[in-house]
Amino acid sequence: MTLLNPKCELRRIRDFILVCLRNNKETLNAGLSLGVFQRDTEQIKAGDYLPLASKNILYPTILVKLVEKTEEFKNIGNAGRKRPQLTFKIIGIVKNVLNAQRETDNDILQLCTNIEAVFRNNIQLGDDSIVLWAQPVRAVFDTTEVIDNQYFDIVLIDLECVSEVK
């Protein structure tokens, strides 16, 4: 008896998320006042680490990282089909300058809204429906400490994806 070796193509799903974000720069840029997305691969990339103080980083920036995978079997046995549920962390970063004249968190709130809009408009990722649905389910906001009158607003968005492995 040969056991099935179903695959959940994690890298391919992550790449679909990156492509989805890169192809929707107009949606991502809506309402941002401090900067816009211009260079796809420099501002929207895989990973979870960024040297924030580097002068070579363009802002705003989005990072995408897989943080969790769980599986649910629909049937028991060798012919069973798995339904992997994946959680990706989408990290949005906006660079700010201390200024008493403006509300400082508007851009990070707008960026969060824009990222969520991209996935609400693109529930299925990929051309072959490798992802049955993808929805943003949670957003957490944070701020770095002020260095040289600058700081970074950060949003961490959990994007849940359900895929089907046949």
- Mark out the alpha helices in 6-161 (DSSP H runs): 10-22, 25-29, 40-43, 106-121
Residue with tokens 């809506």: 30
Structure confidence by residue, pLDDT tens digits, 109-118: 999 999 999 9
Q: Which two tokens stand for residue 84?
A: 């992997």
Structure confidence by residue, pLDDT tens digits, 36-62: 887 777 888 888 777 766 777 788 889
Set out the domains of the chain in order of their start, with CATH numbers.
10-163 (3.30.2000.10)
Residue with tokens 């211009």: 38
pLDDT over threshold 90, residue 91? yes
pLDDT at 68: 92
Report the number of secondary-structure helices (H) and strands (E) in the chain. 4, 5
What is the sign of the dihedral through the CA atoms of 119, 125, 127 and 132? negative
DSSP 102: S
Nearest CA to 63 among 51, 49, 50, 45? Answer: 45
pLDDT at 29: 86
- Please, what is the average pLDDT of the chain? 79
**Which of 11-20, 26-35, 74-83, 87-96 bottoms out in mean pLDDT, i.e. has the lowest?**
74-83
Pairing of strands 82-97, 44-46: unpaired
Q: What is the pTM of this model?
A: 0.82
